[in-house]
Each structure stands twice: as structure tokens, then as C-alpha cells.
Amino acid sequence: MSKKESLIPLKTLFISYHASNTILISFLPLYLQFRGLNGTQIGWVLAVESLASILAQPFWGYLSDKYKTVKKILLVCIIGLLIGGTLFFQMDTLPTILFMGALFYFFATPVGALTDSLAQRRSTELGVSFGSIRMWGSVGFALSSLLVGEIFAKFGIEYMVWVYLLFGSFALITLLPLKDVKVDAQPIKLKDLSRIVKNKPFLIFLAVIVFITVTHRMNDYYMAIYITELGGTEGMVGIAWFAGVIAEAAVFALAGLWFRKYHAMIFIIGAAFLYTVRWFLYATVSDPMYIVALQFMHGLTFGVFYTAAFDYVTRLIPKLLQSTGHLVFFSVYFGLSGIIGSLAGGPIIENFGGDTMYIYMGWIAAAGTALLLTYHLLPYGKELD
């Protein structure tokens, strides 16, 4: 079987899963607003997602490493995602939304990390770049955001559950023929996890990037509300995400050409600086179309930052603990940062508006850029030179 053929099921899984994920990232805040929740309450729901992520990611990652399988853990999580999603979208009061949201996200949040971990290992086995596989998730996200935005603009966002379950079902179907990865290391034991807890470069790096990832998650959650605040529609939200994720896909696709030229930290610091510029620019706009136009920076920020950071932590983590380490990374990148971003962003955008929120985000990203530069200049930052 050729390399190209062997990766088709994995690429298809990336397309279908990230197509479903579009709905949660791009449109869930608008759906919750439709349900009658205010900005602060929406923040609490999104924080539950992030809290579930922090708890679920290491749990499922540990099981993956322990039983030396990624595919079987993915199967359990996607089935749980479909059942939990069906129940979650039926809830109409804040307490029930929070409770069912926690259950739903416990299964949903690890799927992205597990597919990326699977892709990282398969790319190593086959000698291809991780970005050339990961880009298909961006393609699925982009096409879905454009299509779903138009569907919601025409028929109403109240039909979100059906669209979500459709894409989620495709993800389950595409997972079935997927080839699992081979893990040669011995199954891990609980005591092996101390090697991650004692890994100072890994922990310091995670602590530093929170300043960048908090702003990334805040934008994920509230850009849709900011666009509508400026007078845009659900369709325009979809176009904005399409523009951003197409740029992200291009960055992932070309990773094999640009990524190996310099140390990963150079790309991480450069992307952090561009995050700072991006948020200050978003704060100055008065027309939602300018947000769409500036979305090309999503590729230069998230695309570059994520690719370089994922590679960097992969080299910091022992092979025995790859899935666990990757999901700890995800717990910080999307979980802890999501809690801070959702709880802080909701009250700010509700009381002061989106422009003020983006100004705060710009200053937080600037602080993160300075800390990353400091980290790189210290011995830990030079460990992988």
C-alpha cells in the first residue's frame, strides 16, 4: 500500500471531525445566545467545556498509552460524543446545559488531540510531514464553516443539533477502516506519569504559552458575537472562519517547506508577536468585513504557533508517554486557556464591548511574547538546539 493510499482514511477522519467541530467553535455562542443566555452565562458554559477538557484529555491519553491503541479510544469517544451531543442540545435551562455539557465534552474534547497524536505517529512512520495530514482538518473546518454559516443564516441556528450529529456520524464512519498506530513501548503504569510531572522544560513551556493560548481561545469563543455586534450575520461568521482556516490549511500544507529551516522556538515567538498585532488590529475595526479581511492572520498565528509548539513538546516528551503528553498539552492549550478565556471574555464583551476585549487580548499576547523570548534565552529554551 502506498503512503498516499494508507493516509486516506486518516485524512477523511480529519475532514469529518473538524467539520463537526466548526459548529461548536464558530456557532455555539450564538446558539446559546438564541437560547436566552447572556454573555456571562455563555462564559460559564464554555468554561465547562474547558474544565471537562482538562480532566478528560489526560484520562483518555493515559488509557491510550496504557492499552497501546489510539483507534479504540477514539471509537469510544466519538460514540460518547454523539450520544452526549444529542442530549446536550435538548437542554434549555442553564443548570441542565452545564450538567449535560460537562458529560458531552468529556467525550468530545479528547477527539482532536487523539487524532493529532495519531497523525503525528503515522507521519513519523511514513516519513511525511505532520502538517500535510493535519491540513485536512483545516479544510474540513473551512468548508463546513462556509456551508453551515449559510444554512444557519437561511433556516435558523436552532437546527444546530442536526447538522452537528450529521458530521459527527461521518467521523464515526470514517474511523472504522482507519489503521491503528503501532506502539512498541511497554504499557505505561501510573508511576510513569511522574516523568511528565518532573519534566521542567515541558511544564515551564506550558505555563508560558498560556498567555498566548488564552487570547486564542477567547477569540474562538467570542469572535462570532463581535461580528454580530458590528452588524454582521451568521453567514458572515461562516465566511470569516472560512477565510481564517483556509489560511491555516495552507500553513499546515506547506509545513514541510518552511518548518525545518529554524528552531521551533523561532516560529513560536514569531507567531506570538503576530498574535499581538492581530488582536490590536481587530480592536480598531468598525465594519465586520474588516474582521473577515484580517482573518488571513489566523494561519500565520495559530497555524504556525500550533505546528511549532506541537513539534516542540513532542520532542520534550518520552516516547512511552506520547499520547499522555500530547493530551496534557491539549489540556493547557484548549482546556485551561479556555476556562480563563471564556470566563474573562464573557463579562468583558457584555459590559464593555468586543473592541475593549480585543485590546486586553493584545496586551496579554504581548506579555506572552516577552515571556517566550525570555524562555528561549534561558537554558531550558536552548535544550533542543
Please return the burial class of 284, using the count of CB atoms within 10 Å of its CB with bins 0-12, 13-18 and 19+: exposed
pLDDT at site 1:
43
Q: Taking 80 as the threshold, does the pLDDT of residue 187 lie above it?
A: no
Query: Which residues fall within 8 angstroms of residue 170, CB to CB, at 6 or more apart?
Result: 16, 19, 20
Neighbouring CB atoms inside 10 A of 1's CB total 8
Whether residue 1 is contained in a domain is answered as no
Cα separation, 76 vs 288, in Å, equals 40
Q: Taking 50 as the threshold, does the pLDDT of residue 2 lie above it?
A: no
pLDDT at site 270:
95
Q: Taking 60 as the threshold, does the pLDDT of residue 184 lie above it?
A: no
pLDDT digits (tens, 9 = 90+) for 316-356: 887 777 767 777 888 888 888 988 998 899 899 989 999 99
| Contact in structure between 215 and 369 (CB atoms under 8 Å) | no
Whether residue 36 is contained in a domain is answered as yes
| Contact in structure between 305 and 115 (CB atoms under 8 Å) | no
Report field, pTM of the whole predicted structure over 0.85: no
Strands (E) in the chain, as ranges, are none
Number of H helices, E strands in the chain: 20, 0
> How much is the average pLDDT of 80-96?
92
pLDDT digits (tens, 9 = 90+) for 34-83: 888 888 898 899 888 888 878 887 788 778 877 888 889 999 999 999 99
Whether residue 347 is contained in a domain is answered as yes
Cell, residue 124: 513519523
pLDDT digits (tens, 9 = 90+) for 236-287: 988 998 899 889 888 888 877 776 767 888 999 999 999 999 999 999 999 9
Whether residue 15 is contained in a domain is answered as yes
Name the helix (H) or strand (E) containing 117.
helix 110-126
Whether residue 190 is contained in a domain is answered as yes
Whether residue 67 is contained in a domain is answered as yes
What is the domain range of residue 324? 7-382
pLDDT at site 169:
94
Please return the burial class of 172, using the count of CB atoms within 10 Å of its CB with bins 0-12, 13-18 and 19+: middle
Whether residue 232 is contained in a domain is answered as yes
Domain count along the chain? 1
Cell, residue 190: 501510573
- Nearest residue to 48 (alpha-carbon basis) of 110, 111, 99: 99
The DSSP result for 158-208, as a single string, is GGHHHHHHHHHHHHHHHHTTPPPPP--SPPP-GGGGHHHHT-HHHHHHHHH
Q: Taking 80 as the threshold, does the pLDDT of residue 188 lie above it?
A: no
Whether residue 321 is contained in a domain is answered as yes
| CATH number, domain containing residue 295 | 1.20.1250.20
pLDDT digits (tens, 9 = 90+) for 98-108: 999 999 999 99
Cell, residue 118: 495519531
The 3-state DSSP class for residue 89 equals coil
Which residue's entry shows cell 495559530?
A: 302
For residues 172 and 66, which has the higher predicted lDDT (pLDDT)? 172
| Contact in structure between 303 and 274 (CB atoms under 8 Å) | no
> How much is the average pLDDT of 288-308?
92
